[in-house]
Structure 1
Amino acid sequence: MFKQRVVFVHGAGSFGAAAWPKQHGMALDYDALFLRRHGFDAVAEPLETDFAADAAIVLRALADDGRGESGGHVVAHSQGAIAAMMAAVERPDLVQSLALVEPACLSLTAELPATAAYRALMQPLFDVRHHLSDDDFRREFIRRAFAAHSPGAGTAEVPGPEEQREARRLRLQAPPWEAPLQIVPGVPTLVLTGGWEPLYEEIAGYLRETGALHRIAAGGHRPQDSAEGDRVIRAFIADVGRSQHAHAS
């Protein structure tokens, strides 16, 4: 039985299947691929962000499933949404739908108030990131990004080798407002947010005005980990798949 492909693109933390614990079961009904973006590896040293390389990884995953078929649905979280949108702009014929979870697509909303305030807060940190230690950058990033919602965030020490590697990777991530993004024409799009942070609600509102469907599920920056968020993602992909199948028939 033919299974539609679904490609999962992680954000800045966990990668591969570990970034999508609630979506593992979708492999029963779909040809599910859990990607690793450029510079994310369990052994190799982390690398600087390369937006074009990330988009190319998504496109390769969609290009051929080994059975002569191509294309699929893309589910992306946070900075992974940048790669997903870039891939869809370059090859909309390969992207059957986009499900963007808390998308860090700040270059689209650069002139809007919440995005401008976030950039004003974070730009000074990114300006000096190559002069900071990995741990110092991590602590200050978390403090600035999450302290308003979680007092004391970022104060804990980074304990082990894997956490150290994750801190290095975080420091090497380019600021998302530098991404070369454009609106994706004609691709069914879901935006899922956690309803906790005005920045992501502002981005969702912008995308909604361009035709995207916006849904909110509790769960902070990872609403895909909640039962409701998982249900929304699965229902959206299933609905788009049925609609496209009916149209093709």
Structure 2
Amino acid sequence: MRSDRVVFVHGAGTYGAAAWPRQHGMALEFDCLFVRRHGFDPVAAPLPTNFAADQRIVEEALGQGGHLVAASQGAVSAMMLAVERPELVRSLVLAEPACLSLTAELPATAAHRARVEPLFARAADLTDEDFNREFARAVFASEPRPLSTAEDRDRARRLRLQAPPWTAPLAIVPGVPTLVLTGGWEPLYEEVAEYLAGTGAVHHVVGGGHRPQDTDEGDAVLRGFIRGHAAAGSESGR
């Protein structure tokens, strides 16, 4: 029997399989691929955000079709593909999606933009360390940990090079079965989730901060959602 493909798209921190520790075991049940987005490489230097390149990476990994699971900023390219090629996407799971183009004028997103948009405007004039520090103060009201490892420094460089999520070319929602998981800790992500729920998505608040997929409930809901749509696809001959 053919195993459905499941493609996992990481956010702005860890990448590839390392970004999905609770979902590794799904490879026993599905054909799982853990992609690396554009500019995320263990050897090459970080690169600026390229939404179109990310979409191509996701589409290539999806092949003839399957299920998409995406977190935070990775949700942008996953949704872009689901909007453009809905026939390829059997189900879509979004964990704390940073799809701020959809909610750019809503209160929580507008407040977030007011805090960080001036910082993004100055990004080219700041060092990676300075940008990282100011971003942590603006978003988390805290001081970041020191950039003591090469991995820390690469992460700070990627943060400075990222494009603001609200600039992504995403204005409509996908016409595919969609599950949104949130941690219930940040109004910004709850606002995006509520927007998507208003268009037909299923929304579960499962805790876990910005990584709801790592909670027992989040992992169980994620797996159950994909299993349900994999079974429905098999019954319909998809």
Report the TM-score, using the length of structure 1 for normalisation. 0.93
State the 1:184 CA deviation: 3.4
Alpha-carbon contact 1:89-1:182 (below 8 Å) kept:
no
**Corresponding residue for residue 100 of structure 1:** 94
**Corresponding residue for residue 194 of structure 2:** 205
Give the alignment partner of residue 71 of structure 2, picking from 77, 85, 108. Answer: 77
Structure 1 CA distance, aligned partners of 2:234 and 2:202? Answer: 20
State the 1:83 CA deviation: 0.4
List, as ranges, runs of 4+ consecutive aligned residues in structure 1 with deviation greater than 4 Å.
none
Written as runs of structure 1 = structure 2, the 5 A alignment for 1:10-159 is 10-63=10-63, 70-147=64-141, 152-154=142-144, 156-159=145-148
Q: Deviations over 1:169-215 (max 9, x none)?
A: 11111000000103234200001000000010000000001110000
Q: What's the secondary structure of 1:107's corresponding residue? A: coil
**Corresponding residue for residue 176 of structure 1:** 165
Structure 1 CA distance, aligned partners of 2:21 and 2:46? Answer: 23
Alpha-carbon contact 2:11-2:72 (below 8 Å) kept:
yes
Give the alignment partner of residue 226 of structure 1, picking from 207, 215, 223. Answer: 215
**Percent of aligned positions with the same letter in both sequences?**
64
State the 1:139 CA deviation: 1.6
**Corresponding residue for residue 225 of structure 2:** 236
Alpha-carbon contact 1:77-1:103 (below 8 Å) kept:
yes
Give the alignment partner of residue 183 of structure 2, picking from 183, 194, 202. Answer: 194
Structure 2 CA distance, aligned partners of 1:162 and 1:209? Answer: 39
**Corresponding residue for residue 206 of structure 2:** 217
Q: What's the secondary structure of 2:70's corresponding residue? A: strand
How many residue pairs are counted as aligned between the two chains?
238
State the 1:77 CA deviation: 0.3
**Corresponding residue for residue 66 of structure 1:** none
Structure 2 CA distance, aligned partners of 1:114 and 1:131? Answer: 27
- Unaligned stretches of 5+ residues in structure 2: none
State the 1:226 CA deviation: 1.2
Q: Considering only aligned residues, what root-mean-square deviation do their CA atoms show, in Å?
A: 1.2
Structure 2 CA distance, aligned partners of 1:157 and 1:33? Answer: 32
Structure 1 CA distance, aligned partners of 2:143 and 2:215? Answer: 22
